[in-house]
Amino acid sequence: MKKAPVALALAAVVACLSAAPAFAQSQLTVVNFGGANGNAQKKAYVEPFEKSTGTKVIGVEYNGEQAKIKAMVESRKVSWDLVEVESPDAARGCDEGLFEKIDWSKVGNKADFQPAAVQDCAVGIFVWSTVMAYNGDKLKDGPHTWADFWNTRKFAGKRGLRKGARYNLEFALMADGVKSADVYKVLGTPAGAERAFKKMTELKPSIQWWEAGAQPPQFLVAGDVVMTTAYNGRIDAAQREGKNLKISWTGGIYDLDYWVIPKGAPNKDLAMKFITEASKPEAQAEYAKLISYGPTNNKALGKLDAKTLALLPTSPANSGDALKFNITFWADQGEELEKRFAAWAAQ
């Protein structure tokens, strides 16, 4: 009988050792852009996943630094399991072999998703849009078109624009009368690029640049700008805080953010499970209620009320004149246009 405590102690040690691998698998590092989006993900995806699986999710915020992922993968010291990336980085990282292939048989039926959400090594999380925004307390009747945005005689004051060529050159062409459907066809020609930069020069004296998504609503509330381009979710977040900011959806440019699993991620299977849970209609509908970004799983739309649907980039009323951000175009011509933009902005 005296040996029983020893035996029990040994059994306890063995049990602990055998449980160690399982414990190691019960932690998942998920990386996103933080802010209102990060908060919505936590409530819609992270907390339910932790509750249903017993997994501890470690949240990390970053600013989209693809170089960090590349360094981890190339050094074979990957500490991130799942990362939210923007579409150009999803495409480039996939081409460079930085991400694991996606097992779509686990995620769901491809036909249920927005076509752009289905990639070989990335899964679309949500649809977001860069739109015109203004302060309803300071401007009763805001811009309805990009021509209005450029009209500094009718709407005196500064304009907020994201610093860079992307989006701005497209908006400039629409302001110059190019239909959204023809923007990339025109921008892809030397004459079209020249036309876009000429239009940008018209507005240059009135531009206040922004580089972080939190800045446009701050500029509007402070009265630093009379109108600005902005991520629709950032304006939505400000509205939920009681700010009277308004969106004009005409000619907005929409895009998707994606989940990717870095090649060699320590918890690849658990990351796939997280993606699967976060891609279900119920989870995506909950996310859309928390921030006005459109679901990539189309079945989520049937779980949303009319008020919520009306705020999404994917609603018919908001997407009628929208332009899909062209990843291929910017992959092919982006470097040259960004260099030209940097030189133009510095003049």
- pTM for the structure as a whole: 0.83
Q: What is the CATH number of the domain that holds 73?
A: 3.40.190.10
| Residue 316 in tokens | 């018919």
Say yes or no to pLDDT of 143 above 90: yes
Q: Where is average pLDDT lowest: 131-140, 201-210, 307-316?
A: 307-316
Percent share of the chain, pLDDT over 70? 93
Are 284 and 341 part of one and the same domain?
A: no
**Closest-CA residue to 102 (of 273, 344, 321, 346):** 273
Q: What percent of the chain has pLDDT over 90?
A: 85
Are 208 and 152 within one domain?
Answer: yes
- Give residue 226's domain range: 129-254+319-346
Cβ pair 234, 213 in contact under 8 A: yes
Overall size of the chain counted in residues? 347
**Which residues in 89-244 belong to E strands, given as ranges?**
123-135, 159-162, 207-210, 227-231
Distance, CA of 115 to CA of 123 (rounded, Å): 11
Residue 154 DSSP SS3: coil
Q: What is the mean pLDDT of the chain?
A: 92
Q: Band the pLDDT of 153: cuts 50, 70, 90.
A: very high
Q: For residues 324 and 194, state if they share a domain.
A: yes
Beta-carbon contacts of 86 under 8 Å, excluding residues fewer than 6 positions away, are: 64, 255, 257, 258
Residue 116 predicted with pLDDT over 90: yes
Q: How confident is the model at residue 317 (pLDDT cuts 50, 70, 90)?
A: confident
DSSP bridge partners of 159? 207, 227
> What are the backbone dihedrals phi and psi of residue 83, each rounded to the nearest 5 degrees, phi first?
-135, 135
Q: Are residues 303 and 325 in the same domain?
A: no
Q: Which amino acid is present at 303?
A: K
Q: At what angle do helices 87-95 and 66-75 cross, to 10 degrees?
A: 20
- The letter for the amino acid at 1 is M
- Specify whether 112 is located in the same domain as 135: no
The total number of structural domains in the chain stands at 2
Query: Looking at the structure, do residues 88 and 184 belong to the same domain, yes or no?
Result: no
Q: Are 117 and 256 in contact (CB under 8 A)?
A: yes
HSE on the CB side for 28, CA within 13 Å? 24
Regarding whether 342 and 216 lie in a shared domain, the answer is yes
Q: What confidence tens digit (pLDDT) does each residue in 29-73 have? A: 999 999 889 999 999 999 999 999 999 999 999 988 999 999 999
